[in-house]
Every structure is written in structure tokens, then in C-alpha cells.
Chain A
Amino acid sequence: MAQASALHTSAGHADDQEIKTHPKPRFYISIFFVLLVVTIAEVIVAQDPLKSMVTDMGVPLLIPLFALALFKGLTIVMFYMHLKMDSRVFSAFFMVGLILAVSMIVTFMGLFTAHYRLPFDQEAWRQSLEEGATSSSASAATGTTAGGGH
């Protein structure tokens, strides 16, 4: 009986100290409004005329948008997911996955998009498609194949 009551106490109500350290709902609501303002800012930055202003200054649109998204993500992780108030071990386990993910994105983009850095002539590409279609229809009409074999 004594052990049962001891068990109930240990798994029972949190002590006053714990309750005091939980942030109040007002804190979470203020975080929400901060996130809302940042979301609105993101949408505004991505639309004209602010989008043209940013690109005319020579700044890639990705930079301000990425900065805003990073701020939002970190705010949600630190305050809504309580990572700031929790053990560093949780942060370590999460950060390993996050670092792996970012490294993978950067590596894949470096490996597979190098050829896109050359300027792409869309008009020439369309012309080559049309020429290819024309030559294949012409050879089909004369009865010859592209390879020349029988």
C-alpha cells in the first residue's frame, strides 16, 4: 500500500516548480503572431513589386526568402517543440538528421546541376526539335531510315 502510494506520487501531479517553468499560453500566442507576420512578409517579398526591387538590386530572391523561412523554422522548433527548454541530447539527435539533409541537398545539387550553369538557348533547342521532327517525317515519306540500313 505504501509502495502503491509512493508509485502514485512519483507518477502523479507535477510539482509547482515544473508548472511554473512551462511557458504561458500568452507566450505561444505572441510567437504565433511573429510567425504570421514573417509569413506575410515572405508572400509580399515573393510578389511584385518587392520581388522586382530585390532582384534589381542584384540579390537572388532565394536569400531573403530562405532567411525568413529559417527564422520561422527555428522559432517553431525552439519554442513550439520546446527544444530550447529541453535536454541538449534531443537537439543533438535532431541536428544530426538536419545536417545530413542539408548536406545531401547541397551535394546532389553540386553533382547533378553543374551543366545547368552553361546558358541554355531555349530557342535553339526548340528549333532542333522541329528539325528532328521534320527530317523524321521526310524520311518516313521517302521510305528510308535514319540509319541507312535495310
Chain B
Amino acid sequence: MAVVTAPHTDLSMDHAPTGLESLDVRKLGMWTFLGSECVFFGSLLAMYFVYRPMMFQVEHTPHEILNIPFTGILAFILLMSSLTMVLALSALQHDHRRTGSIWLLATAFLGMLFLGGQAIEFSKIAREGYTLRNSMFGQGFLILTGFHGTHVFIGIIWLLSCFMKAVRGGFHSGNYIGPEICGLYWHFVDVVWVAIFTLIYLV
């Protein structure tokens, strides 16, 4: 009778894996996916940068259109959600099921706050006339931040599903790969926002 063993998820450098066969393929798959997401968002940023000089020749600069302090608060919210996500993973790794579940829920809540703030911002610039149809800046900005917002939305659904499983005791020190991979995705979404906030809003 064949014996099936669970994949070894050792984070210690003393027991660093020596070959691909000792890596968790689910984590490897997620890192590969995140690499492809870098290319995806890179292409959107490239599109924005190519058209940026043309945008500012006929329209206002982002500093005149966008509310930088308000977006700074959104950046802070997303940063805090990264903290709650990593605290959730840490709690589940140490078998603190209730604490881990609460942090997962907090992460999802902060993500929803962020999306709410984005919705307010989108409606504001639409009222000022910067839409997908009639403004080059509107197209570049809304496509980029719209795709990012979609990623945040998918992350929130994933977080809520992890929360429901964590509440039922599905994650513990022997099995935390679910929130770990969800955490990788969520932190990547935060990294993309760091890039967007700096390169679109501040520059």
C-alpha cells in the first residue's frame, strides 16, 4: 500500500531545500503567477508612461486632478492590511485559530475600505470629466487602477473563504499553506499599489 506524505513546508534556512522536489509546488505556482502578474502590470504601466507626456500637453497633471492626501490614506489602509495578513499567518502557524481568523477578517475589511475609497475617487474624477471615453488620462488611470482594484476584489473573496475555513479549524501549524499563498497574493497587490501610488499619483 503506497504511503502518501504531505509536502514539506520548512522555512528554516538550516533545513533549506536542496532541490525542486522538496519545494511546495503550490507556493512555486503562486510565485510563478506573481512573476507573470509583474509582466501584466508592467505592460499597463508602460502604456501609461508612453502616453503620459501627451496627456499633460492637453490635460491637467495628476496633482491637479487627484487628491494626494486622500490616496495617501488609502495607501496606509492597504499597508495596514498587509500587516494584518502577515499577523494572521503568524497566528495560524502558532495554532492561534481565533486570533488568526480575526486578523484574516480584518484584512478583508481593510481591503473593502480601500475599494470604497477607490470608488469615491473614481466617481470624483468622472464628475470632473475624466472618463474612459473622453480623456486620455482617464483611460490610462482608470484601466491601471481598475485592474488593480479587480485584483483587490478577488483577494477579498479569497480572504473571506480562508476566514471561513480558519473558523472551522481548517488551518493550524501543520497546515497553513492556504493563508500563506493567499498572503503572497495579497502582499503582491500591496506592492503593485506601492508602484502605482508612486509612479502615477506622486510623480
Interface residues of A (CB under 8 A from B): 3, 6-7, 10-14, 17-19, 21-25, 28-29, 31-32, 35-36, 39-40, 42-43, 45-47, 61-62, 65-66, 68-69, 72-73, 76-77, 80-82, 85-87, 89-90, 93-98, 100-102, 104-105, 108-109, 112-113, 116, 120, 122, 125
Contacts and interface: CB of A to CB of B under 8 A. Distances in A.
B4 A7 contact: yes
Interface residues of B, number: 72
A102 B68 contact: no
Contacts of B17: 87, 89
A23 B13 CA distance: 13
B202 A42 contact: yes
Interface of B: 1, 3-6, 10-17, 20, 23, 27-28, 31-32, 34-39, 41-43, 45-47, 49-50, 53-54, 57, 63, 68-69, 72, 75-76, 79-80, 82-83, 85-87, 90-91, 93-95, 172-175, 183-184, 187-188, 190-191, 194-195, 197-199, 201-203
Contacts of B46: 104-105, 108-109
Contacts of A93: 28, 31-32, 35
A97 B36 contact: yes
Contacts of B42: 100-102, 104-105
A108 B191 contact: no
Q: Binding site of A, secondary structure by majority: helix, strand, loop or mixed?
A: helix
A65 B79 contact: no
A87 B19 CA distance: 9
A28 B53 contact: no
B53 A113 contact: yes
B90 A7 contact: no
Given A100-B39, A104-B43, A116-B53, A89 B23 contact: yes
A39 B72 CA distance: 8
Given A89-B20, A108-B46, A116-B53, A21 B27 contact: no
